[in-house]
Amino acid sequence: MNEELRAYLEMEAAEKMKQGMSRKDALRAVRLEQGSLDVSKEVVRAAGWESFVETCWQDLRFGFRQLRKNRGLTIVCVLTLAIGIGATTAIFGVVDSLLLRPLPYPTSHRIVRIWNTFSPRGLTELAASEPELLEYHQSQTLAHVAGFALGSTTLTGRGDPARLSVSWGTSDFFAALGTQPVLGRSFSPDEQELGHDQVVILSHHFMTRPLWIESSDHR
């Protein structure tokens, strides 16, 4: 940096010497115009990344000193940061799994969900009725149409009753998702007729529960 600044001063002095000034007067005039070399160095350093790093380091040292002086404030700050980071991570995990990542099905980009709305009553998500499902089945745009509903039920008959999360689906449910059960078969159309025995498909999570593994009636 010293050599660059001196070279710059020499160039400016040479320009003034061309105008008729002596070397001594030219150098003096340039120094008066540009200021001292030390001031110029500080200006150059202030514009460089070295100054930014140094400033950050000084700020960090000052912050640590202040935190050491007030232990109570330090604990509050650390806990607040930990809670904030934890909450943000949890929210991002939910958003990532539900909105950002594609569904775990072969043709997930083609799967859509259809529902009704009734704005006058402020209802924004109403389930389709059975006649509407039959009408959707006639559509040439949709390859498969399936209805489903989420709920819960109680499992009894062995040990203590257990509350389970369940999903009721029509016969095209697995076809609409583009997948099939790992074991057994999917629902058949006649099994959704009124009066037919109810058929269930168990999830992997349920089948790996100790209650189910210990049972001998799961064939």
How does pLDDT run across 139-151, given as a tens digit for each residue? 888 888 888 888 8
Q: Is the pTM of this model over 0.85?
A: no
* Residue pLDDT, tens place only, 11-47: 777 877 888 888 888 777 777 766 655 555 565 555 5
Any idea how long the chain is? 219
Binned at pLDDT 50, 70 and 90, residue 86 comes out as: very high
Phi, psi of 45 (to 5 degrees): -65, -40
Angle at 200 between CA 144 and CA 137, to 5 degrees: 15
For 84-215, strand residue ranges (E) read 116-118, 123-126, 148-155, 162-169
Phi-psi region of 96 (alpha: psi -120 to 50; beta: other; left: phi over 0): alpha
Token digits for 196?
């037919």
| Residue where the block lists tokens 């990344």 | 49
CB of 115 closer than 8 Å to CB of 127: yes
Instruction: List, for residues 130-177, the tens digit of each pLDDT value.
Output: 888 888 888 888 888 888 888 898 888 777 888 888 988 888 888 888
Segment holding 19, helix H or strand E: none
